[in-house]
Amino acid sequence: MKQLLNVILAAAALLALYACTDETIGVSLTDTTSSVIEDSSFVITGQSVLNNRIQMRTSTKMLGELQADGFGHLTASAVTQWMPAWTIDTSGVKTEWIDSCRLKLRMPLQYGFTGDSLAPMRLNVYRLNKQLTSPIYSDFDPTGYYDEDDLLASASYSPTSGWLEITSDYSDTVRTISVPMPTTLAQELFEAYKTNPDLFASPKSFAEEFPGIYITNSYGSGHVLNVKSTELDVYYKQHVQLTDTTDTIYPCQSQSYLASTPEIISDNIISLDIDNQVTQMVDNGDAIVLAPAGYEVQVRFPIQDIIDSYQANVGNNLAVINKLELELPVEVPETEYDIEPPTYMLMVKTSLKDNFINGDSLTNNKDSFYAVYNAKKKVYSFSGLRDYILNIINNQGGIASEEDINFTITPVDVTTYTYSSSYSYYYTSTSSTTTITKISPMVSRPAIVKLLLDKAKVKITYSKQIVN
């Protein structure tokens, strides 16, 4: 009796699953036996390919120079337009009361730099003399976009030279490198706004007045920074009328006039001479992922083998695919400075990869997926592939095309937004939801990893009901 009850409950569960899918294998539930099947007998293959020209889709900037054995020689500089402030505080402010301005380069506390934190280096900031092209790529040549005479600032820096600072929305603590800029630049921007505020209405109109800046390492080697955000802050005195009879001058007012955001044209200029050890691994057939602007891996996903095995096992019986997943173990090559694997990995159909990156897309779990690195297990897990296989079964008669089989696994930076919600009746309950807002080529830090494709586990799990 107990066994019969278990069969009835299994049949009911299968019916519930069947009602939520478009699969139509089998129709009868009379005298049935249910089972859950896991099959991981599939093999994924692939190879490393060079990806040394990437389109920038992020406001993150790399800056510096690094030589790391087992990785390579990396140099990084940046060009950027500006997102201007919509309004500039001019009330009670005179041009001559603007006394200073600073370029703020903010790094996250974790992964804020790679290399020697004490290595002394120097940066130069130049004013651009013409607008940047779009689209723009990591091999961009800034020659002709600036003049050596248009040097705005030059300053020594290191990852430890910045001070700790809480972001304006109190969401994060960062380390900030502050570069003194010409006071005349701030005064020029102030006068431009007073004369024609419409220039500040959009990045496009502002770029006609001020095309942007070029930031480059001018001396030293030893580290690269991960610059999370860039701002130009202006400091000034302001006359304020407190009452009808009293007034005062505040001596230390400040406003952020300009910022580098994802909406404007911005570019990391990357030069990477890959270490011979890495090149040898690639030549030996190892699947190496290296960022930024290094290697990615093209793989052949065994989707047709999976579908054929599934359909042969199911036959005319009722079945429901529960999930399809890829577990990808890795090995971390030994490098100087212990360079770590990418935090995020994108797996996208090779035929759609350029459109995905250029179109500023998000993963849809049908032809693009992402995974987060599990440092404890040393594995990337792509778990949301169910819609991918269902699309081929339901819309293509179970026949996978070459486009369905060929994927590229590439390192990416993922931007998320977390918002909190609270509910109060007799008590207060707070919850938070994190949403992915952007996926872009990885330029946040150097990264390297070896994908162990021969140990990868491609597993399909499905429920089958056999009609007796």
Residue range 216-275, pLDDT digits in tens: 999 999 999 999 999 999 999 999 988 777 888 888 899 999 999 888 999 999 999 999
The pLDDT, as a whole number, for residue 34 is 84
Omega prior to 135 cis, within 30 of 0:
yes
C-alpha 402/C-alpha 81 separation (Å) is 40
170 part of a folded domain:
yes
Residue matched to tokens 């006609």: 208
**Which of residues 465 and 170 earns the better pLDDT score?**
465
Confidence bin at 160 (pLDDT 50/70/90)? confident
3 part of a folded domain:
no
Long-range contacts of 249-256 (CB under 8 A, 24+ apart): 253/89, 253/93, 255/85, 255/88, 255/89, 256/85, 256/231, 256/232
The pLDDT, as a whole number, for residue 54 is 92
Q: What is the mean pLDDT of residues 103-118?
A: 91
Q: What is the mean pLDDT of residues 284-302?
A: 97
Q: Are 29 and 75 in the same domain?
A: no
Confidence bin at 58 (pLDDT 50/70/90)? confident
Q: Are 296 and 353 in the same domain?
A: yes
Q: Are 46 and 69 in the same domain?
A: no
Confidence bin at 59 (pLDDT 50/70/90)? confident
Q: Are 300 and 206 in the same domain?
A: no
Residue matched to tokens 């021969």: 454
333 part of a folded domain:
yes
Confidence bin at 360 (pLDDT 50/70/90)? confident
Picking from 200, 231, 261, the residue at the C-terminal end of a domain is 261
Average pLDDT of the chain, as a whole number: 89
Are 464 and 448 spatial neighbours (Cβ–Cβ below 8 Å)?
no
Are 300 and 400 spatial neighbours (Cβ–Cβ below 8 Å)?
no
Q: Are 235 and 289 in the same domain?
A: no
Question: Nearest to residue 393, comparing CAs of 29, 25, 16, 35?
Answer: 25
The pLDDT, as a whole number, for residue 169 is 58
Picking from 230, 261, 292, the residue at the C-terminal end of a domain is 261
Domain that holds residue 75: 61-261
Q: Are 162 and 79 in the same domain?
A: yes
Are 236 and 98 spatial neighbours (Cβ–Cβ below 8 Å)?
yes
Residue range 402-435, pLDDT digits in tens: 999 999 999 999 987 766 655 555 555 556 677 8
C-alpha 308/C-alpha 39 separation (Å) is 12
Number of structural domains the chain divides into? 2
Are 52 and 138 spatial neighbours (Cβ–Cβ below 8 Å)?
yes
Picking from 220, 239, 261, the residue at the C-terminal end of a domain is 261
Q: Are 335 and 207 in the same domain?
A: no
Contacts of 156 (CB under 8 A, 6+ apart): 120, 121, 122
Question: Nearest to residue 61, comparing CAs of 82, 84, 74, 80?
Answer: 80
197 part of a folded domain:
yes
Residue range 300-343, pLDDT digits in tens: 999 999 999 999 999 988 899 999 999 999 999 999 999 999 99
**Which of residues 348 and 432 earns the better pLDDT score?**
348
Beta bridge partners of 394: none
Q: Are 337 and 216 in the same domain?
A: no
448 part of a folded domain:
yes
The total of other beta-carbon atoms located within 10 Å of residue 108's CB is 18
State which H helix or E strand residue 404 sits in.
helix 402-405
Q: Are 283 and 419 in the same domain?
A: yes
Are 350 and 298 spatial neighbours (Cβ–Cβ below 8 Å)?
yes
Per-residue b or e along 202-212, where b marks 16 or more CB atoms closer than 10 Å to that residue's CB: ebeebbeebbb
Q: Are 310 and 446 in the same domain?
A: yes
The pLDDT, as a whole number, for residue 357 is 86
The pLDDT, as a whole number, for residue 246 is 83
